[in-house]
Amino acid sequence: MTSQEGGLYIEISVTSQQLNLYQASKSIFQASVSSAINGCGELQNSGCTPRGWHQIRAKIGTACAVNTVFRGRRPSGEIYNEALANRYPDRDWILSRILWLSGEEVGRNRLGQVDTMRRYIYLHGTPDSEPMGVARSHGCIRMRNTDIIELYDLIPVHTRVLITE
């Protein structure tokens, strides 16, 4: 399924925990991901990964160092390391880059109680100690830091994203 003929788009399979970036229906980048431990769903406060068509509404973290820690979508001034992880063991680490998603399907993942953007759903980096290929997030799509940085550099804002089960 393509977003536009010849266009660039991302497809994320929750079932296979895999992300593919396509250009003109040809995969040009692949990465393992980690979606929500609570499974798929669109409701606010569900801790689930939303399905359907989205777009990258904002790219955050240009030129930030690998392992830059983000809080409230802003660099915190911290660089993730084991000592910081030990000091804050319950933090949900958002590292390196953020690709903030906005739903495109009114009533499914846009507006009301199912609004992906208002739920702060991102593609973002995570500590290298976190497993990929298994659902472990709080709703976002977690990626290896090297992978999120590479993807970030390959795509513009408004790139379409399809999340499937």
- 80-100 pLDDT, tens digit per residue, is 999 999 999 999 999 999 999
In a domain, 146, yes or no: yes
In the predicted model, what is the mean pLDDT of the chain? 96
- pLDDT at 6 (0 to 100): 63
Which residue type occupies 137? S
CATH number of the CATH domain containing 141: 2.40.440.10
In this predicted model, what pLDDT tens digit does every residue of 143-157 receive, in sequence order?
Answer: 999 999 999 999 999
26-32/52-60 β-pairing: unpaired
Q: How many helices (H) and strands (E) does the chain have?
A: 2, 10
Residue 29: is its pLDDT beyond 60? Answer: yes
* Residue 142 domain flag: yes
Grade residue 101 by pLDDT with cuts at 50, 70 and 90.
very high
pLDDT for 72 equals 96
Domain assignment present for 1? no
**Residue 3: pLDDT band by 50, 70, 90 thresholds?**
very low
> Confidence class of residue 1 from pLDDT cuts 50, 70 and 90?
very low
Is residue 3 a part of any domain in this protein? no
What is the rounded CA–CA span in Å between residue 109 and residue 102? 8
Q: Considering only CA atoms, give the Rg of the chain.
A: 15
| pLDDT tens profile 54-67 | 999 999 999 999 99
13: in domain = yes
The tally of domains found in the chain comes to 1
Does any domain span residue 81?
Answer: yes
Residue 44 placed within a domain: yes
39 is in which domain, residue-wise?
Answer: 8-164
Mean pLDDT of 98-120: 98
Beta strand 160-164 pairing with 8-13: parallel
Helix (H) or strand (E) holding 86: helix 82-87
Q: Is the Cβ–Cβ distance between 33 and 142 less than 8 Å?
A: yes
Residue 4: pLDDT band (50, 70, 90) is: low
In angstroms, the Cα distances linking 33 to 10, 13, 76, 78, 106 are 13, 9, 24, 24, 26
Whether 107 is covered by a domain: the verdict is: yes
